Amino acid sequence: EADIPHFPRDLPNILITGTPGTGKTTTSEMAAEATGLTHINVGDLVKAKSLHEGLDTEYDSYILDEDKLIDEMEEMMRPGGKIVDFHTCEIFPERWFDLVIVLRTDNGVLYPRLESRGYNAKKINENMECEIMQVVLEEARESYEEQIVIELESNSIDQMEENVSRIKAWMENWIANNNN
Ligand code: DAT
């Protein structure tokens, strides 16, 4: 990976990450509509292209084939203009992203969201612990430059709309600064 050149891009790539249920997919869809960037739902891509090594029955989730996934995404990321939506962030090459957003949700709000998804108790507890321990935020801070990692609250529709507005404003600023 170290010898892959960092191609300049005309549009930025944004990663939207966070514990399941914090609003990544909903926020990514809205942000894609507001900005014209393309939403990549990594979970859907993994399923559609079988970028996994089968189902982990205990947690009812796919065991990711990271190498296959990175290979599949490399060409998509090169020209920029992507909003990548995934619950983990440390598997991607650092050079792919210009902005990393970590969505955060209060316990009392997240729990019913996970319950209404029909997750089993083990999966709910695992995700609640993930959010309480700030696992994804720590991962993001360890994997990317401090100044590109932004933590945003995602408890309400108002906050989601505000987050989308911030993403749009950030993108317009990025384009203005990179268009010379
Ligand atoms: P994720 O992609 O992080 O797993 P999601 O976008 O699928 O999360 O959202 C899970 C559910 O919670 C979905 O029914 C929409 C709702 N939701 C997400 N973020 C929200 C917010 N900020 N305010 C209100 N509802 C939200």
User: Average pLDDT of each block of 10 consecutive residues along the chain (180 residues)?
Assistant: 66 98 98 98 96 86 94 96 97 97 98 96 95 98 97 98 98 88
Look up residue 144 and give its DSSP letter: S
Supply 174's token pair. Answer: 């990025």
Q: Look at residue 5 in the predicted model and tell me its pLDDT.
A: 56
Q: Look at residue 8 in the predicted model and tell me its pLDDT.
A: 81
Tokens 């317009």 label which residue? 172
Ligand 1 pocket check for 25: Cβ under 6 Å: yes
Reported ipTM exceeds the 0.95 cut: yes
Q: Look at residue 180 in the predicted model and tell me its pLDDT.
A: 55
112 Cα–ligand 1 center, Å = 11
Q: Which atom of ligand 1 is nearest to the CA of 103?
A: 3
Alpha-carbon distance of 105 to 31, in angstroms, equals: 18
Domain ranges of the chain: 14-162
Q: Look at residue 4 in the predicted model and tell me its pLDDT.
A: 58
In 46-174, at which residue ranges do the beta strands (DSSP E only) sit?
Answer: 52-56, 61-64, 82-85, 99-104, 149-153
Ligand 1 pocket check for 160: Cβ under 6 Å: yes
Alpha helices by DSSP H, listed for the chain, are 24-35, 42-48, 66-77, 107-115, 121-132, 135-143, 157-178
Which amino acid is it at 56?
Answer: D
Ligand 1 pocket check for 24: Cβ under 6 Å: yes
Ligand 1 pocket check for 178: Cβ under 6 Å: no
Q: Look at residue 76 in the predicted model and tell me its pLDDT.
A: 96
CATH fourth-level superfamily of 14-162: P-loop containing nucleotide triphosphate hydrolases (3.40.50.300)
- 109 burial via Cβ count (<10 Å: 0-12, 13-18, 19+): middle
Ligand 1 pocket check for 112: Cβ under 6 Å: no
